[in-house]
Structure 1
Amino acid sequence: MDPPNEVRDIFLSPGDFHFGGPNLRLRTILGSCVSIILWHPVKLLGGMSHYLLPGRNNPNNAQNLEGKYGEEAFYLFLEKIKLTQLPISEFKAKIFGGSDMFSREEENLTLVSNFLNAKLVGQKNINFAKQILSDNSIPIISENTGGSKARKIFFTVWDGEVWLEMQESSK
């Protein structure tokens, strides 16, 4: 499908979320963060999240939904999809990110529990995405997760395509 005459190009920083129609190109750069992309292949609607952690340590402190937490980013998707009056199960998902961004040298220097917890963030983010999508009967049609390199991703809502560039590690 050809791109629309006017394309809105939006860069998502960590914690950002965006959802909209076929004139959007959404892009971001991921390390241990994960992006969930949801796309409706008939209505050409879709969105992208860029979350840092699966959830808050203290969910009772949540005044507003924040895209930096996977759980809350997914609720943002649910709010936007509810407005479309489309069943969420008609959307298709793609997930990206969740890299282990720590070097082997750092691993050998310390076994401090905070470091070990940080090292697991990428995998926890991946696990969360897969679980929440499964719980909501949304099929994952593409994924590129894990590893040790950063990723640049570009999502074009008009055709549902995602372009991926693997970044060289600075390790």
Structure 2
Amino acid sequence: MMDSPNEVRDIFLNPGDFYFGGPDLRLRTLLGSCVSIVLWHPKKKIGGMSHYILPGRNNSANMQILEGKYGEEAFLLFLKEIKLTKLPISEFKAKIFGGSDMFSREEEDLKLESNFTNAKLVGQKNINFAKQILSDHSISVISENTGGSKARKIFFTVWDGEVWLETPETTK
């Protein structure tokens, strides 16, 4: 484990945000049904995090400006950054977090909206997308904490590749 840098840049990612950089970074976010992909290069101590809301757009023809709120576009942002490093993407390691089912049993019982079932599947669709895109690019997933029904706070320290996870206790 590498010692932390003398100065740390602490960056909070909101839904739809993406960040990639060097060993002076701590990236953090709060997830529900959204998913974060964390990519890290163990030798170069560089990496990044995405926080996407949905796997993709309904109309991919509008991808003139990449938006991190969609998984496919967040991954294109990763590819763009990795290309600048001139490192093979297969040397990066991945961790996946999020994809919770954030709907309570009471909401499920009510089923007030016809799209409720689809809304419940957002977290799982986000997880499936992350696993598929990483597999398609031969990136090893070395850790994951996905699914369930709780929010997650994650903290990624780029200097050592560690991701710290907190799951707030639910109060009833």
Which ranges of structure 2 fall in alignment gaps of 5 or more residues? none
- Which residue number corresponds to residue 144 of structure 1? 145
TM-score of the aligned structures, taking structure 1 as reference length = 0.97
1:67 aligns to what? 68
Amino acid at match of 2:84: L
| Structure 1 ranges of 4+ moved more than 4 A | none
Distance in 1, matches of 2:63 and 2:77, equals 13
Tell me the residue number matched to 1:55. 56
Which residue number corresponds to residue 158 of structure 1?
A: 159
Other-structure match for 2:34: 33
Distance in 1 separating the partners of 2:171 and 2:90: 39
TM-score normalised to structure 2 length: 0.97
Amino acid at match of 1:135: D
Length, aligned pairs only: 171
Measured after TM superposition, the shift of residue 169 of structure 1 is 3.3
- Measured on the aligned residues, the alpha-carbon RMSD in Å equals 1.0
- 1:78-125 per-residue CA deviation (whole Å, 9 max, x = no partner) reads 000000000000000000000000001000001633111110000000
The 3-state SS of whatever aligns with 1:163 is strand
For 1:89-128, what aligned pairs fall within 5 Å after superposition? 89-110=90-111, 112-128=113-129
Instruction: Output the amino acid matched with 2:67.
Output: E
Q: Deviations over 1:24-81 (max 9, x none)?
A: 0000000000000000000000000000000001111222000000000000000000
User: In percent, how many aligned pairs have the same letter?
Assistant: 83
Three-state SS of the structure 1 residue aligned to 2:149 is: coil
CA distance, structure 2, for counterparts of residue 126 and residue 113 of structure 1 = 23
Matching residue of 1:87: 88
Letter matched to residue 139 of structure 2: I
